[in-house]
Amino acid sequence: MHLLRCLYADVLKTKRTAFMWVHLLAPLLYSAVCLLYFHVRELDGAHIYELFMTPLAIALPFVVALVCGLSVSQEERAGHFQNIVGAPLPKLIPYFSKMIFLILLNGVSIFLAIGLLSLGFLLSHAELPLLPFLIGGAWLVATSVVLYFFYFFVSCLFGIGASALFGVAGLLMTALMGTGLGDAWWKYNPWAWGTRLSGYAGIVEFEQMEPVFLSFLQQELRTGFMIVASVILFVTVISSIWFHRWEGKKALE
C-alpha cells in the first residue's frame, strides 16, 4: 500500500513537467521518422526490425542516464532528497517506488513507439508482424533495469553531469558491442545486453536458418536471460544496502 502511494505521488510530481512529456513525445517522433524512412524504401520485416530496434537499443543508455539525472535533480531541488531519504516510511519504499516508476515509464515509451510503428503500417495497409517487435521491446526493457540502478546511483552521488557523461560512454560502448568486437564479451557487459539480445530475438523470429544456428541463438537467449535476471537480483540487493545507508549527500559533500 505504501509503495502504491509513493508511485502515485511520483506520477503527480511529474505529470505537468517536461519529464513526462519527453517520455510521450520521444517515441512519437522516433516512430514518425522511422515510418517516413520505411515509406520510401521497400524493406522486408527483418530489415525493418533491425533499422527500428538497433538505434533504439544504442540510444537507450544515454536516455536512461539523462532521465535518471533529471529525476535526481528534481528530488534535490525539491528538498535536498528529503522526500526519499527522510520520508516517514521504511527508507527503501520511496527508493523502489522511484526505480519502478522510471522503469515503467521506459517500458511505456518503448512499447508506445512499437505500437505507433505498427499503427502506421496498419493504416498504410502494409503487413508487419508485431510479435517480434514486442519480444525485442521486452528485451530492451528488461536489460535496461541494471542501467537504471547504475545511472541513478551515479546521479545521486555525482549529479546529472556525471550521469550524462557516463551515458555518452554507454552509448558508444553499446554501439561497439553490437559489432564483431562484442562477440566474445557481450555477456559480461550490461551495455551490450539490449542490442545483442533484442537483435538475436529478431533473427530467430524473422530469418530462415539452419537448425544448428537456430539452436545456438536460442541457447544464447537462454543464457542471456539467466545472466540478466541474476545481475538484476544482485544489483537490487547491493543498491538496497547502499541506499539504506545513504544520507542524501553527494560524494564531494
- In order, the DSSP letters of the chain are -HHHHHHHHHHHHHTTSHHHHHHHHHHHHHHHHHHHHHHTS---HHHHHHHHHHHHHHHHHHHHHHHHHHHHHHHHHHHTTHHHHSSSS-THHHHHHHHHHHHHHHHHHHHHHHHHHHHHHHHTT----SHHHHHHHHHHHHHHHHHHHHHHHHHHHH-HHHHHHHHHHHHHHHHHHTSGGGTTTGGG-HHHHHHHHHHHHHHHHH----HHHHHHHHHHHHHHHHHHHHHHHHHHHHHHHHHHH--S--TT-
Angle between helices 211-245 and 190-206 (to 10 degrees): 150
CA atoms of 176 and 182, how far apart (whole Å) = 7
Closest CA to 60 of 145, 154, 128: 145
Tell me, what's the pLDDT at 250? 66
CA atoms of 33 and 46, how far apart (whole Å) = 18
Task: State which residues of the chain have pLDDT below 50.
Answer: none
Q: How many CB atoms lie within 10 A of CB 44?
A: 8
